[in-house]
Amino acid sequence: MPSSSMKLFAALLVACLAQTSMAAIVVCKMDAQDGDTLTAACSVGVSGQPISLVGPGSGQQQLTGSQVSYTLDVNARSTLFECASEDDLLIIDSSQYSSQTLNNCEPPLLELRGCSNAILSNNTFISITRSTAQPGCTISKYGPCVAVVGAASQETDWSFSSLANTFTSTICSSISATSGRLGGAFAFEHNDSPGAMSAVVKGSTFTSTACDFGGAIHSANASLTLTDSTFTGTLAVDGGAVQFVGTNATVAPIQKLQVKSSTFTSNTAVTTGGIIQVTGGAVSIDGSTFTNGEAQIGQCVWLDKCESYTENQITGNTWTGCAKPESPPISWCKAHDGNNWTTCGMEGPRECY
Ligand SMILES: *[C@@H]1O[C@H](CO)[C@@H](O)[C@H](O)[C@H]1NC(C)=O
Ligand SMILES: *[C@@H]1O[C@H](CO)[C@@H](O)[C@H](O)[C@H]1NC(C)=O
Ligand SMILES: *[C@@H]1O[C@H](CO)[C@@H](O)[C@H](O)[C@H]1NC(C)=O
Ligand SMILES: *[C@@H]1O[C@H](CO)[C@@H](O)[C@H](O)[C@H]1NC(C)=O
């Protein structure tokens, strides 16, 4: 072989080897409107042709050119994406789901497992219900829409982003603590991934969402940032809009709940945390508006551990229709850092004050 050909061959071989280990971008568009079953397609790589998803009930399928596989459930609506590599990037964009009812055992419409840095953007979910029907089966632990769950393959720290998504009337019907379903829109679970998980919810809108724990969002052992998002008329047993479960202050890494430039209106918990319930972790809230929270314990934001609260992390917020300022003796709601406390919005156990 002449040396120029040798060089070309070597270059092709290198390119080929690089290709197999190269990160793929997988973009999927899902569509299940007005009770119809799912039609969906994913493309792999920047100029990839759309690959229609095969199903329902035909088992796990690999998206060629990536380490991403999917399973379309026998209900023909719910899709489980599993990512075997931390390098592939799954994007679910411009999807539309409407008027779908799942029984209490079916998986959520979308479940992402082991998918590092996945993005859900520009999607709408309207009138999605998880009913209480239980045809002799194990109850799903998630709400009706989206679960993002960590896996053992995720060794480096990873994130999930919700950008410009809209959830309207997405509910678990007949909410109760014993059902224990998580998140009317999102359930975030770090699960058994060795890397730390963080979730970002930006420019997203949650209206009339409901589930047992976390009317819109449930987050467990992950950091959560809410930015430019709106939560209206949400309902849960605990965490009317958001239930945030972090590790406590003695355990590293500490998960942080950060709320920025967001608006919460008319959110209700049957028991604890009318708007946000925080268990462990650390909290910062900036430039946000909280109006009319309802709960037995902690009408607007409830923190169960004193260490989660740092005064200078609560800045420039407006609080109206939360706890009466005089009961309990709430020093957390004294004037500081541009907060307008028409009522007391941050509450915790009495020993914190
Ligand atoms: C969402 O939609 C907007 C406008 O259609 C588009 O510019 C943007 O790229 C989309 N976001 C993503 C992450 O694809
Ligand atoms: C929480 O996540 C960390 C990694 O960020 C992990 O080390 C720890 O085991 C997790 N804790 C629980 C209770 O899952
Ligand atoms: C914090 O977590 C540690 C380890 O899980 C546990 O032993 C301890 O009781 C927890 N502390 C509180 C205040 O919950
Ligand atoms: C605080 O908020 C209330 C209700 O929105 C408003 O009427 C009042 O003017 C605000 N006070 C200040 C000092 O901004």
**What is the residue-level pLDDT of the chain in tens, covering all 353 positions?**
344 444 443 443 333 334 445 699 999 999 999 999 999 999 999 889 999 999 899 999 999 999 999 999 999 999 999 999 999 999 999 999 999 999 999 999 999 999 999 999 999 999 999 999 998 889 899 999 999 999 999 999 999 999 999 999 999 999 999 999 999 999 999 999 999 999 999 999 999 999 999 999 999 999 999 999 999 999 999 999 999 999 866 667 789 999 999 999 999 999 999 999 999 999 999 999 999 999 999 999 999 999 999 999 999 999 999 998 666 567 799 888 999 999 999 999 988 98
- Residue 20's pLDDT is what? 45
Distance of CA 144 to the CA centre of its chain: 12
Taking the centre of ligand 4 as the mean of its atom positions, its distance from the CA of residue 240, in whole angstroms, is 24
Residue from 265, 317, 319, 340 to probe ligand 4 pocket by mutation (most atoms less than 8 Å from CB): 340
How many C-alpha atoms does 113 have within 13 Å on its Cβ side? 15
pTM above 0.85, yes or no: yes
Cβ distance 53 to 87 under 8 Å?
A: no
> CA dist 317 to 30, 71, 73, 309, Å?
37, 44, 44, 15
Q: Hey, where are the domains in the chain?
A: 22-352
- Residue 96's pLDDT is what? 98
Q: Whose CA is nearest to atom 11 of ligand 3?
A: 248
Cβ distance 100 to 35 under 8 Å?
A: yes
- Residue 18's pLDDT is what? 41
- Residue 264's pLDDT is what? 98
Residue from 247, 251, 254, 255 to probe ligand 2 pocket by mutation (most atoms less than 8 Å from CB): 247
- Residue 1's pLDDT is what? 37
Taking the centre of ligand 4 as the mean of its atom positions, its distance from the CA of residue 314, in whole angstroms, is 17
Encoded tokens for 134: 């239980």
